[in-house]
Structure 1
Amino acid sequence: MLREFLRNWSPRVEAVPALRQSGALPYSIVNDRVVFLLVTSRRTGRWIFPKGSVSAGMTPWDSAAKEALEEAGVTGEVGTNAIGSYRNSDKGLLVDIDLYPLRVDAQFDAWQEMDQRLRHWALLAETRRLLADRSLARIAEALHRQLTVRRLMQ
Structure 2
Amino acid sequence: MSLLDRITANLTLLLRRPPEQQYAALCYRKDGLAGVEVLLLTSRETRRWVIPKGWPMKKKKPHAVAEREAYEEAGVRGKAEKEPLGFFTYLKRLKSGLTVPVRVQVHALAVESMLDEFPEKGSRQLEWVACEEAAKRVRETELRDLILAFSHRFPNPVETKARAVGR
TM-score range for the pair, normalised by the shorter chain length: 0.7 to 0.9
CA shift, 1:95, in A, is 0.8
The alignment's C-alpha RMSD in Å is 1.8
Q: Partner residue of 2:6?
A: none
CA shift, 1:127, in A, is 0.9
Stretches of structure 2 lacking an aligned partner (at least 5 in a row): 1-16, 94-98, 161-167
- Percent of residue pairs bearing the same amino acid type: 27
Stretches of structure 1 lacking an aligned partner (at least 5 in a row): 1-13
Q: Partner residue of 1:98?
A: 105
Between the aligned partners of 1:63 and 1:52, the Cα distance in structure 2 is 7
* Matches for 1:1-154 after TM superposition, within 5 Å: 15=18, 19-31=20-32, 33-91=35-93, 92-148=99-155
TM-score, with structure 1 as normaliser: 0.82
In the alignment of these two chains, the number of paired residues is: 135
SS in structure 2 of the partner of residue 112 of structure 1? coil
Between the aligned partners of 1:94 and 1:104, the Cα distance in structure 2 is 29
1:80-99 per-residue CA deviation (whole Å, 9 max, x = no partner) reads 01101011111211010000
SS in structure 1 of the partner of residue 107 of structure 2? strand
1:90-124 per-residue CA deviation (whole Å, 9 max, x = no partner) reads 12110100000000010112211012111100012
Displacement over 2 Å in runs of 4+: 146-149
Between the aligned partners of 1:148 and 1:65, the Cα distance in structure 2 is 25
